[in-house]
């Protein structure tokens, strides 16, 4: 089984994303020369917005969600950890440009409002936001019985980026090291493929089937590690000096390592060699076995044990900062 067979066509999704961004770029002229002018950022993980009053800084904005991890939570009736996935998706995208995350809003689309579900989801928000150093300043709960089965949870986030600290891959050079942050699980991408494989092998109640002593539902619900505090320390919070020189950041989400790392490789004369990535988590290896998933498809669907990549000439400093924030990190490759 591959991702397309499971119902998700990654190349088509990339094509549609390009269509959406190209159409969105046509709106940039609406704020040209005005406060809040949109700036072009091809391949970026967030969209920069210029405010002249900030002088040396740019506001960035992005949106994302927990995807079909919500389906797993709905089946397990466990919602407390999803806030970490929600915050990780937007905060870690924000820092991938070198920005500091500030605040977010969220939207819950649900078939029928359920106090236990909403309470379960929102109780995790304070801890997840504390980890990322952000505030959740508002939101919307929409009851949509004709459109939604279960629920969907998405968020928007804004951050601030000092112009001199922008990290967009243009400074990547030969000899740079690639540091990989260890993931603790599937995060919020590739859930559809995982669910299809498990359902095909174990039936409708696949989430209750155990692997290495844990229910598959609990394995897929492991909360995402939020890496943004470590990246903010490397680059430096707003008005503060950074502690590690970084030339590129890749948040490994939809599209896996291949799809996300190539977004920051701006120089066609450079290549990346990965020699010592973190070993895939055991659940990935089992899903590959159960679904007979081609290796390349696995690396495009899942993070395969590596949730964030840092391109830096100072790998030891990057690893030290990551470990200070409770993140396992290692030198995994190089630029050549």
Which DSSP helix (H) or strand (E) runs through 177?
strand 177-182
Top pLDDT among 30 and 215 is at 215
Q: What is the reported pTM?
A: 0.86
Span 239-247, average pLDDT: 96
Give the model confidence (pLDDT) of 86-144 as tens digits: 999 999 999 999 999 988 999 999 999 999 999 999 999 999 999 999 999 888 899 99
At residue 324's C-alpha, the angle toward residues 91 and 43, to 5°, is 30
Domain covering 177-335 assigned CATH 1.25.40.320 in the classification: no
> For the ranges 3-7, 71-75, 154-158, 281-285, which has the lowest average pLDDT?
3-7
Question: For residue 284, is pLDDT > 90?
Answer: yes
- The per-residue pLDDT for 57 is 85
Instruction: Compute the distance between CA of residue 329 and CA of residue 233 in angstroms, rounded to an integer.
Output: 15
- Tell me whether the CATH fold assigned to 7-165 matches the one assigned to 177-335: no
Top pLDDT among 33 and 159 is at 159
For the stretch 109-133, what's the b/e string if a residue is b when 16 or more beta carbons lie within 10 angstroms of its beta carbon? bbbeeeeebeebbbebbeebbebbe
Structure confidence at residue 279 as a pLDDT band (50, 70, 90) = very high
First vs last Cα of the chain: how many Å apart?
34
Give the model confidence (pLDDT) of 292-317 as tens digits: 999 989 998 999 999 999 999 999 99
Q: Which of 6-15, 65-74, 256-265 has the highest mean pLDDT?
A: 65-74
- The per-residue pLDDT for 66 is 97
Top pLDDT among 44 and 287 is at 287
With beta carbons less than 8 A apart as the criterion, state whether 132 and 91 touch: yes
Question: For residue 53, is pLDDT > 90?
Answer: no
From residue 272, alpha-carbon distances to 8, 248, 253, 334 in Å are 27, 12, 18, 6
Token couple for 302? 């899942």
Instruction: Compute the distance between CA of residue 23 and CA of residue 318 in angstroms, rounded to an integer.
Output: 37
- The per-residue pLDDT for 38 is 63
- The per-residue pLDDT for 12 is 75
Instruction: Compute the distance between CA of residue 100 and CA of residue 149 in angstroms, rounded to an integer.
Output: 35
Query: Which residue is associated with the tokens 């409770």?
Result: 326
CATH number for the segment(s) 7-165: 3.30.1330.10
Domain ranges of the chain: 7-165, 177-335
DSSP string, 127-160: HHHHHHT-EEEEEEEEE-TTT-SSEEEEEEEEEE
Question: For residue 291, is pLDDT > 90?
Answer: yes
């Amino acid at each position: 089984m591959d991702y397309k067979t499971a119902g998700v066509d990654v190349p088509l999704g990339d094509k549609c994303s390009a269509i959406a961004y190209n159409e969105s770029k046509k709106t940039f002229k609406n704020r040209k020369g005005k406060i809040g002018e949109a700036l072009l950022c091809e391949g970026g993980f967030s969209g920069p917005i210029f405010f002249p009053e900030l002088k040396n800084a740019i506001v960035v904005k992005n949106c994302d969600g927990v995807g079909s991890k919500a389906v797993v939570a709905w089946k397990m009736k466990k919602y407390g950890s999803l806030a970490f996935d929600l915050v990780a998706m937007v905060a870690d995208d924000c820092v991938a440009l070198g920005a500091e995350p500030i605040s977010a809003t969220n939207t819950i689309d649900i078939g029928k409002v359920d106090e236990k579900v909403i309470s379960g989801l929102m109780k995790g928000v304070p801890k997840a936001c504390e980890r990322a150093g952000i505030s959740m300043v508002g939101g919307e709960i929409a009851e949509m019985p004709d459109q939604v089965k279960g629920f969907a949870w998405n968020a928007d986030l804004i951050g601030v980026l000092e112009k001199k600290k922008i990290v967009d891959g243009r400074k990547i050079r030969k000899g740079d090291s690639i540091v990989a942050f260890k993931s603790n699980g599937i995060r919020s991408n590739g859930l559809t493929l995982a669910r299809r494989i498990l359902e095909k092998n174990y039936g409708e109640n696949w989430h209750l089937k155990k692997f290495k002593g844990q229910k598959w539902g609990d394995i897929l619900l492991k909360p995402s590690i939020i890496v943004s505090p470590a990246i903010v320390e490397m680059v430096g919070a707003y008005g503060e000096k950074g502690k590690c020189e970084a030339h590129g950041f890749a948040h490994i989400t939809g599209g896996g390592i291949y799809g996300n790392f190539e977004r920051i490789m701006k120089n066609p004369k450079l290549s990346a060699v990965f020699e010592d990535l973190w070993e895939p988590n055991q659940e990935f290896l089992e899903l590959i076995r159960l679904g007979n998933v081609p290796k390349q498809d696995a690396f495009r669907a899942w993070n395969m044990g590596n949730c964030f990549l840092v391109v830096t000439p100072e790998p030891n400093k990057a690893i030290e900062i990551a470990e200070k924030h409770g993140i396992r990190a290692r030198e995994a490759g190089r630029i050549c």
